[in-house]
Amino acid sequence: MTNHSLYIQWTCWLKDIRKMSSHTVKAYEKDLQQFLEFQNNHYNKKLPFEELHTLTIQDFRAWLAYRSKEGYEHRSTARALSVIRNFFRFLSKQGYASNTGLASIRSPRIKIGLPRPLTVDQAQNLVTEISNENKEPWIMARDQALFTLLYSAGLRLGEALTLTRKQAPLKSDTLLVHGKGKKERIIPILPIVKHSLEVYIRLCPYAFMPESPLFMGAKGGKLNPAIAQKSIRTYRRTIGLPETVTPHALRHSCATHLMSASGDLRGIQELLGHSSLATTQVYTDVDTDRLMKVYEKAHPRAKLAMQNKTDS
C-alpha cells in the first residue's frame, strides 16, 4: 500500500472513528508532515510507511533535538509526539510492525498553568457595562447575550457560535450542546441568559430562520470568533479589566466560581464537557490558590508568620 493511500486512511480514521474535528485533523496532519520531512532529510530518502518501524530511539531523539533547537515550545512538541504515537498505533492496526524505539521516548514535561478567572464582580461588570459602549444597540445586546451565556453556562466560544436560532433556550431551562468530538451534554440555563437572548433577538435587524446562526455578525452571517474576541478586548479596556479577560476566561470563571460555591467536581466536569476528571481537577488547584491568598491576607497567624519572615 502506498504512503498516500495509508495517509488518507489515517485521516479518515481520525474523522470517522476518533470523531475529531476538521481543525484537529489539520493540526495532526501538520505535525505528522513535519516529522516525516525531518526523517526523510535525516535519511536522505523518502521512507515508505512500512519501514517506519525501523526508526531507532536515536532517530526520534534527533527529531526532538531539532524541534528544541528550532524553538518549539514543550507543549507543542508534546502534542506532536502524541500525534506520532497515534499514527504508529494506526500503522500497527493496519498490520505493520510496531516501533520499539518510540515506546522508549518520554514526552517533554509541561508546566501546567492555572486558569486565570475573573472575580465575581469583574464577571458581572463585564456583562453589565457593555451597555455603555458606543455601538449599535443590537450589537451591544448580542455581545451581552454571548458573554452572559459563556459565563453562566461555561461554554467554549466555538460551541456558542455554532448554535442555531432553533437551539436558543428561550422556553427551556436546559441547552443541548455539541462539544469536542461531537460529544453531547445538557447544560442548565439561568433566567438571565434567557432574558439577554430575548433582548438580542428582538433587536437584531436580520430575520431569523430555524437554521440561522444564533449569534450574527454585522452583515447578517455567522459571528466570527475573532470579532467576539476583539469585542471583549474593547470592553475590558473600557472598564479596566486585566488582559487575561478573554471569552475562554469566562468559561474558566464559571467553573472556578462554581467550584468555590459547591465543590462538586463531577458536576463541573459534566457541565464543561471534559472527558477526563483530571482535566477538571485544575479548578480545585485554582480554588486552593484563592483560599491560600485569603488565608495569608486575613488569618492572624499567617500575618504573624509573614512579619517574622520579614524581620528575619
Residues annotated as catalytic (active site), given as ranges: 156, 180, 248, 251, 274, 283
Q: Among 112, 115, 113, which residue's Cα sits nearest to residue 253?
A: 115
Please enumerate in sequence order all residues whose Cβ is within 8 A of that of 112, keeping only pairs 6 or more positions apart, or say none: 282
Name the burial class of residue 106, with classes exposed (0-12), middle (13-18) and buried (19+) by CB atoms within 10 angstroms of its CB.
Answer: exposed
d(CA 33, CA 26) in angstroms, rounded, equals 10
CB 75 within 8 A of CB 110: yes
Q: Among 112, 128, 122, which residue's Cα sits nearest to residue 250?
A: 122
CB 179 within 8 A of CB 271: no
Written as nine digits, the cell of 106 is: 518520554
CB 49 within 8 A of CB 96: yes
- CB burial of 202-226 (b: ≥16 within 10 Å; e: otherwise) equals eebeeeeeeebbbbbbeeeeebeee
d(CA 68, CA 77) in angstroms, rounded, equals 8
